[in-house]
Structure 1
Amino acid sequence: MIGGMLPGYLLDHTALEMPSLLRGAGVLASLTALAAIIWLRDAAMDPARPGHAKEGAAAPDPAPAPAPPRLEQPAAAAKDGLLTLYRRPEFAGLLLALFFIFFAREAFFTVYGIYLTELGGSTTLYGASISIATLLGIGLYDAAARLVRRWGDVRLVRVTGAVYVLGYGVTVLWPNPWVLAAYFSLPLFPFLTMASAAAAAARSEARERGRSLGILEAVDLLAVALGSTSAGSAAARWGLASVPVLALSVGSAGLLLSSRLRRWTGARRNAALTRGAPDGGAQAQAGHWQGMSKNS
């Protein structure tokens, strides 16, 4: 919060310029790294804990660790695991919807500071809006987790995505620096982060959770890379005012795709029922996907 507000205030109300602030930030980062090298240490091992030898007693020879099981063709197994997730329409549909939502968010955020100052806003206002959103967001992760349980993951993705799209639309229709700063002060990121992670986890088996969250992170990073690049290209060619239009278009597409997630989940559940796996497998599959549908 201080790092967001103080530089903007100094640029607006003192003779300091950006190179001086960058040098100060470099000195502060160097002092932080030096302090970590001098004082930061690993936690001391407690001899009283199980597995540690008592003081004064001879430590027994450690038993040889069992050989890890040999994996047959790990690359092929990883590929099959990824394909299993991608072939599920509800998981692939979720990733596609979130990609568009992440893309639009990053595109708008990339030019936010430049656009705000072009509209007449100060750098203090820019720093304050980012700091307020960050400070509020830190305290709202727990509330976001509770809202996921109460509303359902996909519903929260839709609502948060709709608020993002509404902000893009308001910016297109009413490009005012104070309205823009007020919008960017909203702590939306905890809700989208928690909802998207919960939705990805709910659409994968227990043994696939780590892989599904890794794929979600990769989709987010891809959207960040393409969104920021596209925003810069659009601003250079058509002006900064074109970026909110781009974000509005792409974000609306993501919102439309997210509205189909319940239908995709229902289709998966019906397919599991139709296949009729032996030994009660169909009932287990139906119960599994039915639980997912309730979360949607």
Structure 2
Amino acid sequence: MNTSYTTDTVIVTVKGRVATVAMNRPDALNALNKEMIKGLVVKLKEIGDSDDVDIVVLTGNGKAFSAGGDIKSMIGLTDENDFFTIMDGINELIVTLYSMPMLTVSAISGAAAGLGLSLALATDYIIADSESKLAMNFIGIGLIPDGGAHFFLDKRLGEVKAKKLIWEGRVLSSTTALELGLIDEVAEEDLSKAVQLKLSEWSRSPVQAMIKTKKILSDSNRAHLLKILELEKHGQRKMRQTEDHLEGIQAFVEKRKPKFTGK
């Protein structure tokens, strides 16, 4: 089955038993705004209900996988109800992606930062282009990671290394990310070729058995993930009220280094 369907911000293509979900805000480096978050939830749920798909590939059109949450829309977000609506949408997206009854792959080229990296971490396998850059850089604007990042980083790195990565907020090369265990593979040459090799490997495997293992683990972890997402939501609300966050946003707008005071 070869089909394709689209929203303004999300493009889905189905080829055989593989669905490719592409974030489609290339001019904004696929920064996740409310519309894209909603579009991803809708499309991933539609795919999740299908009996015709075994594997889902998540990627971004243009020069980046995703630069993270849309900071420009965040600056204008003053209503608390709107904030919680967006955070609930992020949480629904992460739970939907993590719990999909399919094998999931993130194909990263360019930047995968902040919420964009959280999204990638919610998939089963991460392949990054050799030139890609990854960062859990919420700290740069006085915020904490969201999108379940505390859950996923703890799973992949352990608590001590997860805290270090979050607190430093540094940009990592794909090679360094692989060495840390943050991602699973660096494409030696072409990213699309590396993805196809992984898909071919999986297509020759007993996929339903693999999916059943995924489901057992995701079901057993679900309550913990939901708890982390709620803690992130309310923690993020508090961080948005700090002087350091306001300074971080102002520095971002003015393209300068922030001067944090710890308040």
Same fold (TM over 0.5): no
Q: Which has the higher contact order (CA 8 A, sep 6+)?
A: 1
Q: Which has the higher strand share?
A: 2
Per the normalisation by structure 2, the TM-score is 0.31
Structure number with higher helix proportion: 1
